[in-house]
Amino acid sequence: MAKGKKYSDASKRYDREHLHGPSEALDLVKSLASAKFDESIDVALVLGVDPRKADQIVRGTVALPAGTGKDVRVAVFATGDAATAAEAAGADFVGAEDLVAEVEGGMLDFDLTIATPDMMPQVGKLGRVLGPRGLMPNPKTGTVTPDPAKAVEEFKGGTVEYRTDRYGNVHVSVGKASFETDGLTSNLGTLLDEINRAKPASAKGRYIKKVTVSSTMGPAVKVDPARLDEVTTV
Confidence of residue 11 (pLDDT cuts 50, 70, 90): confident
Mean pLDDT of the chain: 94
Domains and CATH numbers, the chain: 10-68+159-230 (3.30.190.20), 74-156 (3.40.50.790)
Does pTM surpass 0.85?
A: no
Task: Say how far apart CA 69 and CA 58 lie, in whole Å.
Answer: 24
pLDDT digits (tens, 9 = 90+) for 14-73: 888 999 999 999 999 999 998 899 999 999 999 999 999 999 999 999 999 999 998 999
- In single-letter form, the type of residue at position 187 comes to N
The pLDDT of 144-161, averaged and rounded, is 95
Confidence of residue 3 (pLDDT cuts 50, 70, 90): low
The closest alpha carbon to 29, from 17, 42, 45, belongs to 42
Confidence of residue 85 (pLDDT cuts 50, 70, 90): very high
pLDDT digits (tens, 9 = 90+) for 98-149: 999 999 999 999 999 999 999 999 999 999 999 999 899 999 899 999 999 9
